Amino acid sequence: MNVQSPNISRDRRVISQLDEAAVNRIAAGEVVERPASAVKELIENAIDAGASRVEVAYASGGMSFVEVSDDGTGIPTAELPLALSRHATSKIDGSDLLNIHTFGFRGEALPSLGSVARLSIETRFWEEDTGAAYSVEGSVATGPKPCSRVRGTKVRVADIFYATPARLKFLKSERAEAKAISDVVKRLAMASPKVAFCLTDRTDGARKLLDVPVETGALPVALAARLGRILGREFTQNAIWIDAERDGLQLYGMAGLPTYSKGAAVAQYLFVNGRPVKDRMLTGALRAAYMDVMSRDRHPVAALFVECAPELVDVNVHPAKSEVRFRDAGVARGLIVSGLRHALADAGHRSSTTISGATLGAFEPERPQAPVYQMETRRVPAGHTAPMPGFAEASMLSGRVEARSADEGSYEPEEGLSPSTLPLGAARAQLHENYIIAQTTDGMVIVDQHAAHERLVYETLKTRMAENGVAAQVLLIPEIIDVTQEQIAALEAIAEDLARLGIDLERFGGNAVCVRSTPAILGEVDAQAMIADILDELEAEGASVGVEARINAILSRVSCHGSIRSGRRMTADEMNALLRQMEDNPMSGQCNHGRPTYVSLKLADIEKLFGRT
Which residues contact another protein (rule: CB under 8 A)?
460, 464, 467-469, 471-477, 479, 502, 517, 520-521, 523-526, 528-529, 554, 558, 562
- Which residues are within 8 A (CB) of 106 and not within 5 positions of it... i.e. 6 or more apart? 31, 87, 89, 316, 319
Please answer whether residues 334 and 323 qualify as being in contact, where contact means their C-beta atoms are separated by less than 8 angstroms.
no
All residues at 6 or more sequence positions from 154 whose CB lies less than 8 Å from its CB, including other chains: 67, 68, 69, 70, 121, 122, 123
Q: Smallest gap, in angstroms, from Cβ of residue 368 to another protein?
A: 41
Taking the complex as a whole, the smallest distance from the CB of residue 532 to another protein amounts, in Å, to 11
Distance, in Å, from the CA atom of 423 to the CA atom of 443, rounded to the nearest integer, reads 10
To another protein, the closest distance from the beta carbon of 578 in angstroms equals 19
Of 160 and 498, CB closest to another protein: 498
CB 512 → another protein: shortest distance, Å? 16
Phi then psi dihedrals of residue 108, to 5 deg: -115, -25
Query: Would you report the helix, strand and coil content of the chain in percent, each value rounded to 5?
Result: 40, 25, 40
Report the residue number, 475 or 603, with the smaller CB distance to another protein: 475
Whether the upstream peptide bond of residue 144 has omega within 30° of 0, thus cis, is yes
Closest to another protein by CB, 340 or 551: 551
Instruction: Name the strand (E) or helix (H) holding 288.
Output: helix 280-290
What's the min distance (Å) between Cβ of 555 and another protein? 9
- Report which of 583, 565, 569, 567 is spatially closest to residue 417, judged by C-alpha positions: 583
Largest CA distance in the chain: 105
Cβ 566 to another protein shortest distance, Å: 22
Dist CA 276 CA 263 (whole Å): 22
Nearer to another protein among residue 142 and residue 463 (C-beta):
463
* Residue among 521 and 591 whose Cβ is closer to another protein: 521
Shorter beta-carbon distance to another protein: residue 224 or 503:
503
Nearest approach, Cβ of residue 34 and another protein (Å):
45
Is residue 153 within 8 A of residue 70, CB to CB? The reply is: yes
Pairing of the two strands 598-602 and 443-448:
antiparallel
Name which of 438 and 498 has its Cβ closer to another protein. 498
- Whole-number Å distance between alpha carbons of 275 and 259: 29
Closest separation between CB of residue 472 and another protein, Å? Answer: 4
The residue among 276 and 502 lying less far from another protein, judged by its C-beta, is: 502
Cβ distance to another protein smaller for residue 299 or 462? 462
Minimum distance, C-beta of residue 288 to another protein, in the bound complex (Å): 24
In one letter, which amino acid is 102?
T
Sign of CA dihedral 396, 402, 403, 407: negative
Closer Cβ to another protein, 291 or 475, answer by number: 475
What are the CB-based long-range contacts (under 8 Å, 24+) for 481-490?
481/512, 481/513, 481/514, 481/515, 481/527, 481/528, 481/531, 481/532, 482/511, 482/512, 483/511, 483/512, 483/513, 483/531, 483/535, 484/511, 485/510, 485/511, 487/535, 487/538, 488/513, 490/535, 490/538, 490/539
How far apart are CB 513 and another protein at their closest, in Å? 16
